[in-house]
Chain A
Amino acid sequence: MTFDEAQGYVVLATLIAPLAAMLILFFVPGEQKTAVRYISLFFATLMLGASVYIFVAYQFEGPAFSVEGHGIQMEFKRAWVENTAFLGPGGITLRLGVDGISALLVLLTGVVAFAGTLVSWKLDYRTKDFFLLFWMLVAGVYGTFFSLDLFFWFFFYELAVVPLYLLIGVWGSTRKEYGAMKLTLMLVGGSALVWIGIFAVFNEAGLGTFDMPTLWAAGANGTLSPEFQKTFFPFMVIGCGVLAALWPLHTWSPDGHMSAPTAVSMVHAGVLMKLGAFGIIRLGIQLMPDGADYWMPALMVLGTVGAVYGAVAALTQRDFKLISGYSSVSHMGYVLMGLATMNSIGITGAVLQMFSHGVMTALVFLLIGALYDQAHTRDLKDFGGIGKVMPMWVVFYSIAGLANVGLPALSGFTAEFHIFVGTFKTYPLFGGLAIFAAALAAAYMLRMFAIVFFGPFNPRWSSLKDMTPHEYMAGALLIGSMVVMGVWWAPFTDRVAATVTLLPGMTS
């Protein structure tokens, strides 16, 4: 067994870990809540460690980095079904691996899942069921990032969506049935488009395989004709775009976030929304380069509309989570803009933004949850001078908010800067609009700071407690990631850019 094969097992183990957690939790009696929590924490730590290892061990230069292999490393490959009526050799394989883009997103998943576990520590209602579904969600996310086979990619993509319905419907708050229903229906509707696209590709390529790199080659060498790509690229992008809050299919995001329980909001806004953008890279740019070339200006327009629209709408919201929901729409708009630039700077920025927005939003939802659990309201106007009773909470929230605004030395700046540069290269006007939206971000964030954190103290809240140690740890981890990426971004850009420059149709 070579070293790379051995690393393939690390990837496999990372994927199996949440499934193993589910299996073990299944046999733990539901009353043993502490045991459930510690088992979850054990596996979360395991996943975090493995994710960090995968990210660090990813070789972005030297002999291990293979240009022909699309920069994919740490592969694990087992035939699943092949040589049947319609599948050829290598029809469906369990093919796992990471490239620079997914390595970063795997790291994000590890960090956010770990933080989510810590934050759910005080969750007391059906703890076991919650964690069962939570790990199912995480397994789906990991699987999507690892899969190099369209069938399994889609399988895990759906696996991530299903538990959301229950997690929001059972453990949620404000209008949870509506939020859960809307979110699930919209995401599943998007998946249906993706599924059509996948079958169309399978059929058109006529290779009898769902293997991604094989199909990427087919997309690049014209086996998938340019007309075909132009027709089916929108299926992939709109389908995945729903999950990435593509305007105007974003409305599940504010409502879904408003209803979701803390940890689910964190994983959802933090990681799941990135699956959509990741899908656009994997199924759009990599699979159908001609389609991408043709459609990207349209995506640029929609992304910019989303970025400005989300920021403007967030300006007058009164609910914490709605602000974050709309700000997510805005930030995912930046991601889409970055992807639409089709140059390596912009797409690298988009991937950085996925990470940055992930940790930042996870932190924001963590903090909103910490407040809501005590105050049972999220209306800004109810609060005032919270800094007096929850100083650390305010500090953490301020850091998250400033990252949101794009303050240098925090990850948001690094990502947005690269997106702006990339956008300016191709579409200067849209770049200007995006920068303008970033200024609006300052307005809506500071408005919230001013109303909630500062000003005269409202004595109604004198019983509020500051963050618990678990939340503190989770928050510190997230802030740490933000600062590292904000200050010393070379380790991130190196890995991502190594892969991004290999994407088809890239201008440097």
Chain B
Amino acid sequence: MNPEYSWLLAAIPAAMFFVIAFAGRYLPRGGDYLGVAATGASFVLFFALLPDFLDVFDAEAHVLAVAGSIEWSTIGDFELRMGVFVDPVTVVMFAVVTTVALMVNIFSIGYMKGEPRYYWFFAVLQLFVASMLMLVMADNLLLLYISWELVGVCSFLLIGFYWEKRSATEAAKKAFITTRVGDVGLLIGILVFWKETNTFNIQEIIHMAEGGQISETYLFVGSICMFLGAMGKSAQVPFHVWLPDAMEGPTPVSALIHAATMVVAGVYLTARMLPVFAVADHMLLIITIVGLTTALLTSAIAFAQTDIKKVLAYSTVGKLGLMFVALGSGSVTAAMFLLMTHAFVKALLFLGSGSVILGTHHNQEMDKLGGIWKKMPITGTTFFVATLALAGLPPLAMFWSEDELFAAAKDEWGLWALALAMLAVFATGIFMVRLFIRTFTGQPRDPHVYEHTRETPAVMTGPLVFLCVLSVLSGLVVFHGVGTALGFPGGISEFVFQHEPHRYEIDWALAIPSVLVALAGVAIGAFVYWGNDLRRSTALANAQPRAYDLIRNKFYFDEAYQYVIDRGVLGFSYLTSWFDRYVVNDTGVNGSAEVTGYAGSVLKLFQTGRLPNYAMAIAVGVIGLALAGLWLRG
């Protein structure tokens, strides 16, 4: 099959969106099977196309991409082309998106059962999958921006799926507006690059940037602005506030959009534009610092959260931060590898939490759970594996990707970056174990909830098991042997790379500390929370009340933003409205009317109605005019 048909990957779900949106409510079961069929078709098609991609790619000859485009519109010499560009980065994204999307679609059949607007959920899910796939294969920044906004709106619609709830509505609004602020930067960045290069085509921009054809100022401004967009989408500090709130959406949505795919769009964009950013001054350092700040800050916040999904959300933000650290260290390999393994693990965790929520009849507070492993064996076990995987224990998937990250960070920035990245991984171990212990083990906190807890149906546990397998094994693609066995040129670092492929070797000087750090995190978490006993952790919190208060209140980001919005933005808006009403309208417009009216009220007094006055005025006027005429004639 011709690899240029990859646009079909997006076209199938897009078509299904229309079918389900218009006909879904008349179909039996809301057409959910159509959704599964569409994502399934994309999934199968991707694997059908994969050998063709690999055939075309030839690392020796530096042919690593399939591209094709068509003319979309022309104004004078301003030509817009739309097309696809598939390279190893895109292939990884395809694999992640299609796999997770299919799993989430299947899982949703069980999770969303009986919900109102069931068909609508599946319709928007298809639209999301289509836009996301379009995003990762766009060959130009315009198409990328279009898909970028479309995934944003799908996220908005799905976060606000339970729109009867005020909190869901507010969360949806917050997510959309926060990312939109970043998008302002993205669009400005795109246009800055366009101004300098006269093209939207990503490869041409990269080519010109590397050739030094973009002036330094523009290069820096454009890169910073685009990176703002990436930060907004990938919820990096200070834009991270929307992602935890986005957990108001149905849990499969959190798994697909807010863990595995959409939020990594920022990472994808940065990876795609990395050759450009790398040329700009200080850009890589900025990316690294943003990533590290996010990873550490959100890991701290995650300690004090009691909502399962919020803990996971903060851990997602943190891991996204680590992906940016990888990119800032110049390693596309580490970033994409981390992205892939994280997507599988985090999707599993979110789907697992969804399974818990459904199994316990809509309970997602750790304070009411505990000890449900026995009642939900499959969910519990898969969740356990995913917890360890996320904590970075070998040989689970994320260990290998984090190993790549550590190596890259150390090579590029030295020990400080490595230490901070390890600190984030260490923290992840603690709060993930806390999450697992408090949810699944120990004594049930709420006997009533425990009483009614049951394992979820196979349609939900099936995807859990599948993702669990991926969470264990997907890290192994790092090895040359595994990669070649799968038909790739080698391990992932020989397939996805920026400059030169390199074969992965275990660096024990790095691997051992990394294992120790992960183990330490898990061990400390287990020690503090063992048996779902909160005495030790409460004592810790009481020992440092200020610090605990700070992380419990998420470093007061929300409050600060609310203050700025209320006092700054809305205040300015009130001021403008006031100005518009009282200055422009009442003074300017009505004022001129009133001046006219007042002039009339004065001048009308000359109309006395008395004939002699008029006669006198005529006489005086005639004489006056005659005199004036004489005077003028001189």
Q: Which residues of A contact B (CB under 8 A)?
A: 182, 185-186, 248, 251-252, 255, 309, 312-313, 315-317, 344-345, 348, 385, 387-388, 402, 407-409, 413, 417-418, 420-421, 424-425, 428, 431-432, 435-436, 438-439, 442-443, 446-447, 449-450, 453-457, 489-490, 493-494, 497, 500-501, 508
Q: Are B163 and A312 interface neighbours, CB within 8 A?
A: no
Q: What are 26 A-B pairs at a CB distance below 8 A?
A: A309-B580, A313-B573, A313-B576, A316-B570, A345-B78, A407-B153, A408-B146, A413-B146, A420-B187, A428-B191, A435-B184, A439-B181, A439-B183, A442-B176, A442-B177, A443-B180, A443-B569, A447-B173, A454-B163, A455-B164, A489-B73, A493-B75, A497-B74, A501-B75, A501-B76, A508-B77
Using CB atoms, name the residue of chain A closest to B116: A388
The 4 nearest A-B residue pairs measured at CB: A408-B146, A454-B163, A315-B573, A454-B169
B574 at the interface (CB under 8 A from A): yes
Measured between C-beta atoms, what is the minimum distance from A506 to chain B in Å?
8
Across-interface contacts of B163 in A (CB, < 8 A): 385, 387, 453-455
Say which one of B338-346, B491-499, B582-590, B624-632 lies at the interface with A. Answer: B582-590
B195 at the interface (CB under 8 A from A): yes
Which residues of chain B come closer than 8 Å to A455, judged between CB atoms? 163-166, 169
A309 nearest in chain B by CB position: B576
CA distance A147 to B570 in the complex (A): 45
CB distance from A479 to the nearest CB of B (A): 13
Distance of A7 from chain B, by nearest CB (Å): 25
CB-based contact B73/A493 at 8 Å: yes
Cβ–Cβ contact A344 & B75, under 8 A: yes
B588, A251: Cβ atoms under 8 Å?
Answer: yes
Chain B CB within 10 A, most for which of A182, A425, A450: A450
Known A-B contacts A312-B573, A421-B194, A490-B72; the reply to A251 vs B589 at CB < 8 A is yes
| Least CB distance, A60 to chain B, in whole angstroms | 11
> Which residues of the partner chain A approach B145 to less than 8 Å between Cβ atoms?
408
Whether A454 contacts B160 in the complex (CB less than 8 A), given A316-B573, A494-B74, comes out as yes
* Given A313-B580, A442-B180: A344 in contact with B78 (beta carbons within 8 A): yes
* A508 & B78 in contact (Cβ 8 Å cutoff): yes
Cβ of B188 within 8 Å of any chain A Cβ, yes or no, is yes
Q: In the complex, what residues of A have CB within 8 A of residue B570's CB?
A: 315-316
**Known A402-B153, A439-B183; contact A385-B164, beta-carbon cutoff 8 A:** yes
In the bound assembly, the distance between CA atoms of A489 and B74 in angstroms comes to 10
B181: A residues at CB distance < 8 A: 439
The answer to whether A450 touches B173 (Cβ under 8 A) is yes
Q: How far is the CA of A508 from the CA of B78 in the complex (A)?
A: 8
CA distance A316 to B577 in the complex (A): 8
Interface flags, B546-570, vs A, CB<8A=1, else 0 = 0000000000000000000000011
CB < 8 Å: which of B188, B194, B589 contacts A182?
A: B589
Taken together as a complex, chains A and B put the C-alpha atoms of A312 and B573 apart, in Å, by: 5
Q: Which residue of the partner chain A has the closest CB to B570?
A: A316
Q: What is the interface of chain B, defined by CB distance below 8 A to chain A?
A: 72-78, 142, 145-147, 149-150, 153, 156, 160, 163-166, 168-170, 172-173, 176-177, 180-181, 183-184, 187-188, 191-192, 194-195, 569-570, 572-574, 576-577, 580, 584-585, 588-589, 593
Q: How far is the CA of A413 from the CA of B183 in the complex (A)?
A: 13
The docked-state distance in angstroms from the alpha carbon of A494 to that of B78 is 12
* Chain A residues, Cβ within 8 Å of B572: 312
Partner of A438, one of B142, B146, B166, B184: B184
B192 neighbours in A (Cβ, 8 Å) = 424, 428
B173 touches A424 (CB 8 A): no
B588 → A minimal CB distance (Å): 7
Chain A residues with Cβ below 8 Å from B74 are: 490, 493-494, 497
B146–A409 touching, CB < 8 Å: yes
- The smallest beta-carbon distance between A332 and chain B, in angstroms, is 15
Which residues on B sit within 8 Å (CB–CB) of A431? 188, 191
C-alpha spacing A324/B573, complex, angstroms: 15
Q: Which of A348, A450, A497 contacts B169 (CB 8 A)?
A: A450
Closest residue of chain B to A414 (Cβ to Cβ) is B73
Q: How far apart sit A316 and B149, CA to CA, in the bound complex (Å)? A: 25
Q: When the two chains form the complex, which single residue of A345, A435, A457 contacts B75, counting CB atoms closer than 8 Å?
A: A345
Residues of A within 8 A of B156 (CB): 446
B169 touches A421 (CB 8 A): no
Among candidates B142, B166, B191, residue contacting A424 with C-beta atoms closer than 8 Å: B191
Q: Does B191 contact A413, Cβ atoms closer than 8 Å?
A: no
Chain B's closest residue to A491 (CB) is B73
* Distance A301 CA – B292 CA, assembled complex (angstroms): 41
Question: Is B195 a contact of A388 with CB atoms below 8 Å?
Answer: no
B412 → A minimal CB distance (Å): 32
Alpha-carbon gap, A417 to B170, bound state (A): 28
Q: Measured between C-beta atoms, what is the minimum distance from A105 to chain B in Å?
A: 18
User: How many Å lie between the Cα of A401 and that of B316 in the bound state?
Assistant: 31
Query: In the bound complex, how far is the Cα of B429 from the Cα of A91, in angstroms?
Result: 87
B residues in contact with A418, CB < 8 Å: 75
By the criterion CB–CB under 8 Å, are A446 and B173 in contact? yes
A436 contacts across to B, CB distance below 8 A: 184
B605 to chain A, nearest CB (A): 24
Question: How far in angstroms is the closest Cβ of chain B from A432?
Answer: 5
Assembled-state Cα–Cα distance A348/B77 (Å): 13
Q: In the assembled complex, how far is the CB of residue A61 from the closest CB belonging to chain B, in whole angstroms?
A: 11
How many whole Å from B38's CB to the nearest CB in chain A? 18
Q: Closest Cβ of chain A: how far from B116's Cβ, in Å?
A: 10
- A248 and B588 contacting across the interface, CB-CB below 8 Å: yes
When distances are taken between beta carbons in the complex, the residues of chain B under 8 Å from A428 are: 191-192, 195
Chain B contacts for A420, CB-based, 8 A: 187, 191
Q: Among B142, B150, B165, B176, which residue has its beta carbon within 8 angstroms of that of A446?
A: B176
Bound complex: CA A412 to CA B166 (Å): 29
C-alpha gap A508/B146 in the complex (Å): 24
- A408 contacts B75, CB within 8 Å? no
Task: Name A456's contact: one of B166, B173, B577 (CB within 8 Å).
Answer: B166
Q: How far is the CB of B463 from chain A (nearest CB, A)?
A: 30
Q: Is the CB of A421 within 8 A of B191?
A: yes
Q: CB-CB < 8 A to B172: which residues of A?
A: 446, 450
Given contacts A436-B184, A457-B164, whether A446 and B577 have CB atoms under 8 Å apart is no
Complex interface: chain B residues within 8 A of A317 (CB)? 577
Complex CA distance for A438 and B169, rounded to whole angstroms: 21
Shortest Cβ distance from B163 into A: residue: A454
| A443 and B166 alpha carbons, distance in the complex (Å) | 17
Q: Given known contacts A435-B187, A455-B169, what 17 new A-B pairs fall within 8 Å (CB)?
A: A248-B584, A251-B584, A252-B589, A312-B573, A344-B76, A344-B78, A348-B75, A402-B153, A421-B78, A431-B188, A442-B176, A446-B173, A489-B73, A490-B72, A494-B73, A497-B74, A508-B78
In the assembled complex, how far is the CB of residue A409 from the closest CB belonging to chain B, in whole angstroms?
Answer: 6
Taking the nearest CB of chain A, how far is it from the CB of B152, in angstroms?
A: 9
Most buried by A among B145, B150, B176, B574: B176
Alpha-carbon separation in the docked complex, A425 to B573 (Å): 30
Q: How many angstroms from the CA of A180 to the CA of B147 in the assembled complex?
A: 43
Separation of A340 and B569 alpha carbons in the complex (Å): 28
Alpha-carbon distance between A402 and B157 when the two chains are bound, in angstroms: 11
Chain A nearest Cβ from B127, distance in angstroms: 10
Q: Which residues of B contact A432 (CB under 8 A)?
A: 188
Name the CB-closest residue of B to A428: B195
Query: Once bound together, how far apart are the Cα atoms of A188 and B165, in whole Å?
Result: 49
Residues in chain B near residue A421, CB distance under 8 A:
78, 191, 194
CB-CB under 8 A from A450, the residues of chain B are 169-170, 172-173
- For B147, B150, B153, which residue has the most chain A Cβ atoms within 10 angstroms? B153
CA distance A98 to B188 in the complex (A): 36
Q: How far is the CA of A137 from the CA of B35 in the complex (A)?
A: 48
CB-CB under 8 A from A402, the residues of chain B are 153
B contact residues around A490 at 8 Å (CB): 72-74
**In chain B, what residue has the closest Cβ to A444?**
B573
Contacts of B168 in A (CB 8 A): 454
Pair A251/B585 contact, Cβ less than 8 Å: yes
* Cα-based distance from A251 to B588 in the complex (angstroms): 10
Contact A417 B75 (CB under 8 A): no
